[in-house]
Amino acid sequence: MSVLSWRRNGRPDDIVRLLSRIGFVVVLFLVALALLSVAIRFVRTIDVLLHGANHPASSGPFESRYEAHPYLTLIHVVAGFFFMITGPVQFVESIRRRRPWWHRLSGRIFIVSGVVCAVSALMFVAVLPIFGSFSSSVAVSLGSILFLIAIARAYVLIRRRQVRKHREWMIRAFALGLGIATFRLLLPILNSPLIGASFMEAWDTVTWLGFSINLLVAEAWIGFTRDHSSS
């Protein structure tokens, strides 16, 4: 049964359907933003690997940190690519219903690539110089750990055939994984003349806001669409 066909908490189905479609458009926008970031980072990393010390000058201290660890960066962005393209597929009801084999396969890719992304992000915190302040490293570490917990819970629950609870933890995991896209959306806003934050100040702020906003929205949607009659 699709989330769109459940009557949740006495709310009309058409409201759930409308909000679901709006939310999915927002998710696709964030995914596109994340994939653009992945593509740019991938091209720059390949350039570093091909040209070595003769690669074009770095665009600044932020980029040079990744250039110092090109193989770790490559692992992170390739895993991020697969995470982003398989994430939305998990929530398309027609695919779950008509092509369950593809839902299961993409789900496995989603979980494996997500784990690689989170672990490599934690490695970045350990090996890259802190950019911004210690606060941003704490934010990335906490977000990565919460993501790993969410994705582990989602995997365990689907193995137990607890589909509704599995769905909720997959939503949490994907929301946290999309935090990087929310970073990219908020960073230029905070760094703009209107706000006036420096790049480092903005980076410190968005690392916390990205995960927090996404997780709050995810929890609100989970609560809004939870089927209390079957819990």
- Integer Cα distance of 4 and 110 in angstroms: 23
Average pLDDT of the segment spanning 43-63: 73
57 lies in a domain?
A: yes
Q: What is the pLDDT of residues 152-203, one digit of tens each?
A: 999 999 999 999 999 999 999 999 999 999 999 999 999 888 898 888 888 8
Query: Is residue 110 situated within a structural domain?
Result: yes
Average pLDDT over every residue of 200-218: 92
**Integer Cα distance of 204 and 136 in angstroms:** 5
Encoded amino acid at 48, one letter? V
Separation between Cα atoms, residue 47 and residue 66, nearest integer Å: 12
Section 211-230 average pLDDT: 84
CA distances from 170 to 34, 136, 173, 201 (A): 18, 25, 5, 31
User: What are 95-148's pLDDT values in tens digits?
Assistant: 888 888 898 999 999 999 999 999 999 998 888 766 667 888 899 999 999 999
pLDDT on residue 200 = 84
In angstroms, the CA 168 to CA 114 distance is: 16
The per-residue pLDDT of the chain, averaged, comes to 86
What's residue 60's pLDDT?
66
Q: Does residue 39 register a pLDDT over 70?
A: yes
Residue 231 is assigned to a structural domain of this protein:
no
CA separation for the pair 143, 1 (Å, rounded): 31
Rounded distance between C-alpha atoms, residue 3 and residue 91, angstroms: 9
> pLDDT (tens digit, 9 = 90+) per residue, 64-100?
778 888 899 999 999 999 999 999 999 888 888 888 8
When divided into structural domains, the chain yields a total of 1
* Residue 9 confidence (pLDDT): 47
Concatenate the DSSP letters of all residues of 126-194 into one string.
Answer: HHSPPSS-HHHHHHHHHHHHHHHHHHHHHHHHHHTT-HHHHHHHHHHHHHHHTHHHHHHHHHHHHTSTT
- The parent domain of residue 36 ranges over 3-225
- Window from 44-53, 82-91, 129-138, 217-226 with minimum mean pLDDT: 129-138
**What's the pLDDT score for residue 109?**
96
**100-127 and 134-159 helices, crossing angle to 10°:** 150
- Residue 230 domain flag: no
Q: How much is the pLDDT for 110?
A: 96
The whole-number pLDDT of residue 94 equals 84
CA distances to 63, 119, 165 from 169, rounded to whole Å, are 33, 19, 6
The confidence score (pLDDT) of residue 3 equals 41
Give the single-character DSSP code of 21: H
